[in-house]
Structures are given as structure tokens and as C-alpha cells.
Amino acid sequence: MLGSLLALPVLTLFLGALLVKRLRGFRWWAGILTVLTLVQFAPAAGDSSPLLAYHPLNGALLLIASLVLLAKIEHRRVRV
């Protein structure tokens, strides 16, 4: 239950990047972040023991994608 709530801001960000014209520049990174988040939660959804081996790597990729997206948002905020 708590894990599903953690995915809510990521999905909201992705939907915002798809629907709001001003946020279309973030669509690629928001999509990557959404896919990585879903892959991170996939082992909890069922018996996916092979995916557990990639859990730390995916967590690191999730962190990198989040930081890149944050840097892009801050860069745009300073520019405007």
C-alpha cells in the first residue's frame, strides 16, 4: 500500500509532462523515471525473484534520473 503511494507523484509528474504544453520538455525524463519506478515496484507485485537481482542497480538509475530531472527543472526555473 505504501509503495503504491510512493509512485503517485511520479505518475502525476509524467501525466503533467504529457498534458501541459509548457512541461513537454520534461517528457523524456519523466517517462524514464516512470518506467524505472514501475520496474522498481514490480518484484513486490508478484513472484519476480530474477528481478530482485537488479533492484539495487535500478534504484541507482532511479536516483540518477531523478537528479537529472531536478537539475533540468531548476535550470529552467532560473532561466525564466
Residue type, 22: R
Helix (H, G, I), strand (E, B) or coil at 56: helix
Predicted local confidence at residue 79, as pLDDT: 81
Structural domain containing residue 69: 2-79
Q: How many domains does the chain have?
A: 1
pTM for this prediction: 0.81
pLDDT along the chain (80 residues), means of 10: 79 92 89 90 74 86 93 87
Classify residue 55 as exposed, middle or buried by CB count within 10 Å of its CB (0-12, 13-18, 19+).
middle
Predicted local confidence at residue 62, as pLDDT: 93
